[in-house]
């Protein structure tokens, strides 16, 4: 079927994400400094540089690429984002077929969200990356039901993730160290939701290439 | 089976200090600090915690891992998952206030408490009674 995603897509996704996270490093540091410990930009940049360094361009399946990237993030990041994104990518990899069609893509994104929630125990509305992942999965599901290609499923997911990240501005943090700020966390966009939006945009960009 | 402790903190200094303090009343208990990232930053390291847990398991001990802040919990859960079910059965994430919990847990281990008793002590419930 046209537009199926392969290992080459997964490799391109990780490379693009590393580039974007390097460029957005200062933005993420500033967002995290406002309501967290300020290390998210550095941690994500460091983690994805390590992912790129460990990429196997000859990997046969998306599963290999994503699982290996997940393990790298868990072992290199050192903040909450490591176990969260690491578990997300490892679960995504487990759900991925050799060639990912739109149906399988929805399963892959759902598995990533489930991984994030299993690890972080956050719900929608807690002002975390779940507030980007969850609308992304819902938008992907709807796009797929409408017969979209994998590329368009990813575009829908990325766009919903970005809107979800923006919506965290109005939320009160209920997870992580930002929750100690209570109402004072309102008015700031969540750094984890923001990095999720960047990463899903990279997934769409890699599929368009 | 005797129980050893791993202290997982975002700060290497804090982990070392807690291990030092907890060891004062529990000379016979092995307490391994695993704080900070491997390269000296604030954070937690799956590799450091994993190495500490494996070391104690290899010595034939059950292992209670005590943590400070939220994301340390995620690190410890990742480590335990990666051990596989057989070895994971000998490891417990013992949640509680880190300093009081580590002192109470090390004393429980010193007087021969098993993993369940040590994990219960780590909750330092008397603090909140």
Provide the residue ranges of all domains of chain B, joining segments of one domain with +. 3-128
pLDDT of residue B128: 76
3-state secondary structure of A190: coil
Query: Which of A46, A70, A78, A120 is the best mutation test for B, with the most CBs of B within 10 A?
Result: A78
Distance, CA of B105 to CA of B55 (rounded, Å): 19
Please pick, among B2, B5, B7, B10, the residue that the annotation labels catalytic: B10
CATH number at residue A65: 1.25.40.340
Question: Rounded to two decimals, what is the model's pTM?
Answer: 0.91
Angstroms from A120 CA to nearest CA on chain B: 7
Residue B90 among the catalytic residues: no
* Residue A2 resides in a domain: no
Burial of A153 (0-12, 13-18, 19+ CB in 10 A): buried
Output the tens digit of pLDDT for each of chain A's 209 residues. 558 999 999 999 999 999 999 999 999 999 999 999 899 999 999 999 999 999 998 999 999 999 999 999 999 998 889 999 999 999 999 999 999 999 999 999 999 999 999 999 999 999 999 999 999 999 999 999 999 999 999 999 999 999 999 999 999 999 988 999 999 999 999 999 999 999 999 999 999 98
pLDDT of residue A2: 59
* Residue A149 resides in a domain: yes
Q: Which residue has the higher pLDDT, B129 or B81?
A: B81
* Residue A104 resides in a domain: yes
Which residues are within 8 A (CB) of A201 and not within 5 positions of it... i.e. 6 or more apart? A20, A158, A161, A162
Residue A176 corresponds to which tokens in the numbers above?
Answer: 């992580």
Closest to B75 measured CA to CA, from B34, B41, B20, B33: B34
Domain that residue A74 falls in:
7-208
Which residues are within 8 A (CB) of B67 and not within 5 positions of it... i.e. 6 or more apart? B8, B9, B44, B73, B75, B76, B93, B95, B98
* Residue A144 resides in a domain: yes
Residues of chain A positioned with their CB less than 8 A from the CB of B37: 78
Say if CB A61 and CB A69 are below 8 A apart.
no
* Residue A1 resides in a domain: no
pLDDT one-digit tens code per residue, B23-35: 999 999 999 999 9
Topology adopted by domain B3-128:
Rossmann fold (3.40.50)
Residues of chain B positioned with their CB less than 8 A from the CB of A83: 46, 71, 74-75, 77-78
For B56, half-sphere exposure in the C-beta direction (CA atoms, 13 angstrom radius) is: 28
Minimum CA–CA partner of A175 in chain B: B70
B106 touches chain A (CB under 8 A): no
Contact yes or no for A86 and B78 at CB 8 A? yes
Torsion (CA) B32, B36, B39, B45 in degrees, nearest 10: 80
pLDDT one-digit tens code per residue, B37-96: 988 999 999 999 999 999 999 999 999 999 999 889 999 999 999 999 999 999 999 999
Whether residue B125 has pLDDT greater than 90: no
Residue A121 CB neighbours (<10 A): 14
Please tell me the total count of domains within chain A.
Answer: 1
């Amino acid at each position: 079927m046209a537009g199926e995603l392969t290992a080459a897509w997964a490799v391109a996704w990780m490379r693009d994400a590393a580039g974007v996270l390097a460029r957005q490093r200062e933005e993420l540091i500033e967002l995290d400094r406002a309501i967290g410990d300020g290390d998210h930009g550095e941690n994500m940049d460091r983690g994805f540089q390590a992912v790129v360094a460990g990429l196997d361009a000859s990997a046969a399946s998306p599963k290999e690429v994503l699982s290996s990237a997940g393990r790298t993030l868990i072992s290199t990041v050192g903040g909450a984002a490591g176990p969260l994104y690491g578990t997300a990518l490892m679960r995504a990899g487990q759900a991925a077929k050799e060639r990912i069609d739109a149906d399988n893509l929805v399963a892959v994104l759902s598995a990533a969200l489930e991984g994030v929630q299993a690890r972080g125990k956050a719900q929608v509305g807690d002002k975390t990356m779940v507030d980007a992942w969850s609308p992304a999965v819902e938008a992907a599901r709807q796009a797929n039901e409408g017969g979209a290609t994998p590329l368009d499923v990813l575009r829908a997911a990325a766009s919903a993730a970005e809107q979800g990240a923006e919506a965290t501005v109005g939320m009160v943090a209920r997870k992580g160290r930002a929750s100690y700020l209570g109402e004072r966390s309102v008015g700031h966009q969540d750094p984890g939701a923001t990095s999720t939006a960047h990463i899903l945009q990279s997934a769409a960009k890699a599929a368009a290439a | 089976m005797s129980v050893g402790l791993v202290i997982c903190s975002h700060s290497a200094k804090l982990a070392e200090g807690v291990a030092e303090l907890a060891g004062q009343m529990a000379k016979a208990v092995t307490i391994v600090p695993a704080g900070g990232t491997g390269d000296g930053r604030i954070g937690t390291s799956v590799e450091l915690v994993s190495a500490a847990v494996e070391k104690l398991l290899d010595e034939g001990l059950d292992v209670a891992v005590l943590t400070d802040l939220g994301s340390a919990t995620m690190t410890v859960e990742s480590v335990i998952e990666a051990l596989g079910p057989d070895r994971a059965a000998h490891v417990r994430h013992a949640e509680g206030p880190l300093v009081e919990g580590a002192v109470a847990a090390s004393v429980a281990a010193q007087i021969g408490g098993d993993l369940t008793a040590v994990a219960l002590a780590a909750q330092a419930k008397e603090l909140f009674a």
